[in-house]
Amino acid sequence: MVRGKCAEPDLFLQDLSTALPSGQVCHDQQRLEVIFADLARRKDDAQQRSWALYEDEGVIRCYLEELLHILTDADPEVCKKMCKRNEFESVLALVAYYQMEHRVSLRLLLLKCFGAMCSLDAAIISTLVSSVLPVELARDMQTDTQDHQKLCYSALILAMVFSMGEAVPYAHYEHLGTPFAQFLLSIVEDGLPLDTTEQLPDLCMNLLLALNLHLPAPDQNFIMAALSKHANVKIFSEKLLLLLNRGDDPVRIFKHEPQPPHSVLKFLQDVFASPATAAIFYHTDMMALIDITVRHIADLSPGDKLRMEYLSLMHAVVRSTPYLQHRHRLPDLQATLRRILTEEEASPQCQMDRMIVQEMCKEFPVLGEAPS
C-alpha cells in the first residue's frame, strides 16, 4: 500500500483522545488522517495545476481503496469522529475532489466511499445533501449515459443521499427538477441499450421514490408534474404496485433516526392527490391497488403507524378516482372502518386513525354505512 504523509497526526490524535471510545486501535485513526490529509492536498494542488491529478492515479487509487476498507470494516465510531471533524471538512473535500476527477475508475471508488459514509451517520447524509454532490451526480447521469456501472452507482448513491427525506437546498432543484425526473422515468419505462442486467430501471425507480420524500406539497411536486406529462408510465406503475403488495420500502436502506415516511406510501398518496396523476393506473391495476390497500388496513394492528398511511392512501383514492362508481371491495372497507371507529385504544396513533376514518365517512357517507 502506498503511504502518504500527514501533517502532525499525533496532535490530531491527541485532540481526539477524549472524544473517542477507550481502547481504540490507533492504526485506523492514523490511516484516515493520512488519507484525508493527502487527498485534500492533492485536490488543492490540482486546483493550482490542472495536470496534477493525472500524474498519480496509482497513489490515489490505493488511498481510496484503503479508505473504503476502513470505512467499511473499522470501528464505525472512529470513522464517524473522523468524518465529522472540523464540520465535515474531509467529507466536503472528497466531494470537491469528485467534481474535479473525471477518470471513471476513481469516480467509482469515490462513490463507494460516499456510500460507506452514508451508512455511518445521518449527519453525514445531511452534509452530502447540502453539498454539490447531488447536483454533480444528476448532471453526470444525464450527460454520460454510456457507462453502465457509473450510472448504476450514481443512482444508488443519490438514493442513499436522499433517503432521509430532509430538506434540500432550493438551488439544487435547478438540476433536480422535472427534466431530471422525466429522464429517470424514461429509463424505468424504456431502459438503456447498455443495461443488459436490467438493474438501472429499479435503481432509478428507487431514486424517484427517495427524491419524492423531500417534496411536501403534491401541487408543487416536480415528480408528479413529470408523471402527468409522461406519455406512458405503465412499467413504473406496475413496479409501484409490486412494491406496495410486498410492503417493501426500497429507500429505507439505513437505520438512522428519525426515520422518514414509507417512500412507496408517500409516493402513492402524492399520486392520488390529483385526478391527473391518479389516471396513470390502468383499471385492473387500480383494482389490485384497492385490494392491497383494503387488506393492509384490515390486517394491521391498532397502533401500527403504517395503518394511518394506508388509511390516508385509501382516502385519497376515493377522492381522486371514480371509486364510488365501481365500489370495489366496499363491504370489506366499510366493515374495517366501522371496526376502527369502535376501537378503545387510547394511543395517539389510534386516535389519529379514528380521526382519519371520521373524516372519510364525513366526506363520503357511504363509507360509514353498514356493509350490505
The pLDDT tens digits for 122-162 are 999 999 999 999 999 999 999 999 999 999 999 999 999 99
pLDDT at 16 over 80: no
Residue 353 in domain: no
Q: Are 194 and 148 in contact (CB under 8 A)?
A: yes
Residue 207 in domain: no
pLDDT at 8 over 50: no
Compute the Cα dihedral for 323, 325, 326, 332 and give only its sign: positive
Q: What is the mean pLDDT of the chain?
A: 90
Burial class of residue 25 (count of CB atoms within 10 Å of its CB; 0-12, 13-18, 19+): exposed
Residue 360 in domain: no
Determine the structural domain holding residue 70 and report its residue range: 1-120
- Position 81 scores a pLDDT of 94
- Position 197 scores a pLDDT of 82
Burial class of residue 253 (count of CB atoms within 10 Å of its CB; 0-12, 13-18, 19+): middle
Residue 358 in domain: no
Q: Are 244 and 313 in contact (CB under 8 A)?
A: no
Tell me how far CA of residue 365 lies from CA of 337, 343, 348, 370, in angstroms. 12, 20, 25, 11
Q: What is the pLDDT of residues 58-99, one digit of tens each?
A: 889 999 999 999 999 999 999 999 999 999 999 999 999 999
> What's the pTM value of the predicted model, to 2 decimals?
0.90
Q: What is the pLDDT of residues 159-170, one digit of tens each?
A: 999 999 999 999
Q: Which of 102-106, 120-124, 197-201 has the highest mean pLDDT?
A: 120-124
Angle 222-229/178-190 helices, nearest 10 degrees?
50
Domains in the chain, number = 1
- Position 187 scores a pLDDT of 96
Q: What is the pLDDT of residues 178-193, one digit of tens each?
A: 999 999 999 999 999 8
Residue 109 in domain: yes
Percent of the chain at pLDDT > 70 equals 91
- Position 25 scores a pLDDT of 52
How far apart (Å, rounded) are the C-alpha atoms in residues 130 and 120? Answer: 17
Q: What is the pLDDT of residues 18-67, one digit of tens each?
A: 444 544 457 899 999 999 998 888 777 766 655 445 568 888 999 999 99
pLDDT at 333 over 70: yes
Higher pLDDT, 11 or 238: 238
Residue 75 in domain: yes
How far apart (Å, rounded) are the C-alpha atoms in residues 144 and 150? Answer: 9
Across 289-314, b (16+ Cβ under 10 Å) vs e yields bbebbbebbbebeeeeebbbbbbbbb
DSSP string, 205-220: HHHHHHHHTT---GGG
- Position 46 scores a pLDDT of 65
Residue 15 in domain: yes
